[in-house]
Structure formats: C-alpha cells, structure tokens
Chains A and B, each alone.
Chain A
C-alpha cells in the first residue's frame, strides 16, 4: 500500500469522526435535558417590579384616608400591576414568578389586593396596621425582585 493511499484512508476516517462529533454536538444542543427550566432575566420585569414596590407602598400610606377619596390614586397602581402580570404571562417558563404575582393580586388573600379589599370594607385603616402591612408587602416585592435578579442573563435579552 502506498503512502498516498494510507493518507487518503486516514483523511476519510477523520472526516467520518468529525461527522460523528457534529451529530453528537447537535444532539447535545437540541437535547431537552439541556434546555432551561425557568425563564431568563428580564430587565423590564425587574425595573417594573421595583418601581411598583415604591408606588404600592406610597399608596398604602393613603389608607389612613377614606378609600373612596383615594380612588383616583388606587386605580392606576392596580392597572400597572395587572399590566406587568400580563407581560410576565407572555414570558416562557415563567410559572414561578406568575405564582408569586398571583399571591400579590389575590382579592381573597392578604397581600396587596387583599389589603385594598380590607381598606374598602373598613373605609380607613390604623396607621400602625398600615406600617406593619407595608413591611410585609415590601418584603414580598423584594422576594419577586430577588428571583428576577438571579435569573440567567441571556446574551439576547435586554440587560
């Protein structure tokens, strides 16, 4: 066998191995095992969460006043939370964050919407209660923001 023939055989073998490796790499990249289980970091969601925290805590200070008299201040904050929830709903694999917002928005619960229901029912709330509740709702916002901030920053998303 000539040297040229041996070289040709080796070259064919290398080409075959490269093909195998490429097939293996495609399988790895496309394999479900390696796809993310939770949404990646979203700058808009994070900014809106921290901004809404400030709006909500400010609004809660108004609960020493009659609910009806504050309606104009209450409605925009409620709408902005609903808007963010709708935005979060469209993000893929975002179930954990959505569940967190559901607690915040549950009218039969005891976080933001629950607080509004109680305010409406009682007309005015005690300052000490408002401050205690602000602390809890503030911590809840921090938890939602913490999860968002720890999500993986993908090169394509808005960082």
Chain B
C-alpha cells in the first residue's frame, strides 16, 4: 500500500487555506468594529470634557488627568487586540495541527 505524499500534501494545503480564510474572516470585521467603537467613545468624551471645562465642572488639571487616563486606556485596548490576534493564531495552529493529524490517520487508518 504505497503512500501518495503529493495527495496528502494537497489535502493539507487545501485544508489550511480554508482554515486561514475562515479564521481571518471572523477576526477582521470584529477588530474594525471594536476600533470604531473606541474612536466614537473618545469623540464623545472629548466633547463632554470640553463642555465641563467651560462650565467649571472640571478644572484644567482634571482635564489633563482625563486625557492621560484615556491614553492609558487606549494602550490597554491595544493590548486586548494584540491578545485577541494571538488567540486567533493559536486557534488557527490548533486547527492546522488537527487537520494534519486527521489526514495522516486517514491515510493509514491507524
């Protein structure tokens, strides 16, 4: 019973392409939507703070603190996105690993 290496390689290649397409298809729109939500929140915050400063509800020092606080929140949000990308890559690797194992097992029916 000879093993057709080319057929195995072709099956794995097709499978990996499919997994990659579905993984990124889910991740990119979500990342875009999260980014847009953050931009919208910042816009709304800045408008509110400017009005509060003008009315004397907050001081210039308060405003400075809020801006720096917002900047740090954005750094945490960037870490969330970086982490989610790592998670997506891990899921991709896990699926590729399963694909290879299942393909090899199906060839020799262990």
Contacts and interface: CB of A to CB of B under 8 A. Distances in A.
Interface of A: 10, 13-14, 17-18, 21-22, 24-25, 28-29, 33-34, 36-38, 96-97, 99-100, 103-104, 106, 109-111, 114-115, 118, 126, 128-129, 132-133, 135-137, 139-140, 143-144, 146-147, 150-152
B58 A126 contact: yes
Given A17-B108, A97-B83, A147-B80, 5 more contacts: A21-B104, A21-B110, A114-B65, A129-B65, A135-B45
B71 to A, nearest CB: 8
A96 B97 CA distance: 25
Contacts, number: 127
B52 interface: yes
Given A17-B108, A150-B84, A140 B76 contact: yes
- Interface SS, B side: helix
A97 B86 CA distance: 12
B32 interface: no
Contacts of A109: 68, 72
Contacts of A140: 72-73, 76
A110 B62 contact: no
B66 to A, nearest CB: 5
Interface in B86-100: 86-87, 89-91, 93-94, 96-97, 100
Contacts of B86: 37-38, 96
